[in-house]
């Protein structure tokens, strides 16, 4: 058993499952948005689309899925390459630095997305 406190769900299984579920949600959202803008879209139809509550909920679900998906993915990349094993103690500093940067960026994007979705 390897202890880890920075992974998304602290459990490999929960991260693995969430990565798959969020991928399916994101795929569905990409299909939905592509279908919505297919053949052109103007401001009025775009605004009408996003004034519906279910579209906002679906969009928020997609944003939260993207946030979780991005964290799990970036965490795996950072713990592969920015490690004490590969870079010495510098690796630990770099990894924690990038983890803070990633989580902060994701947090800002999530709050910003909520603001955009419910602002008009």
The residue ranges that bind other proteins (CB under 8 A) are 1-4, 7, 10-17, 75-76, 79-81, 83, 85-86
Q: Which residue number, 58 or 81, has a Cβ lying nearer to other proteins?
A: 81
Q: Which residue number, 16 or 118, has a Cβ lying nearer to other proteins?
A: 16
Cβ-count burial of 35 within 10 angstroms (0-12 exposed, 13-18 middle, 19+ buried)?
Answer: exposed
- CA dist 54 and 9 (Å) reads 27
Minimum CB–partner distance for residue 23 and other proteins (Å) = 13
Minimum CB–partner distance for residue 89 and other proteins (Å) = 16
- CA dist 91 and 69 (Å) reads 23
């Amino acid at each position: 058993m390897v202890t880890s406190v920075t992974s998304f769900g602290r459990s490999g299984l929960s991260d693995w499952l969430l990565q798959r579920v969020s991928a399916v949600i994101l795929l569905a959202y990409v299909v939905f948005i592509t279908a919505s803008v297919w053949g052109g879209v103007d401001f009025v139809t775009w605004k009408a689309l996003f004034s519906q509550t279910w579209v906002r909920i679906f969009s928020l679900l997609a944003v939260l899925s993207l946030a979780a998906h991005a964290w799990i993915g970036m965490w795996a990349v950072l713990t592969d390459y920015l490690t004490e094993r590969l870079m010495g103690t510098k690796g630990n500093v770099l990894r924690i630095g990038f983890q803070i940067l990633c989580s902060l960026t994701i947090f800002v994007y999530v709050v910003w997305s909520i603001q955009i979705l419910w602002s008009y």
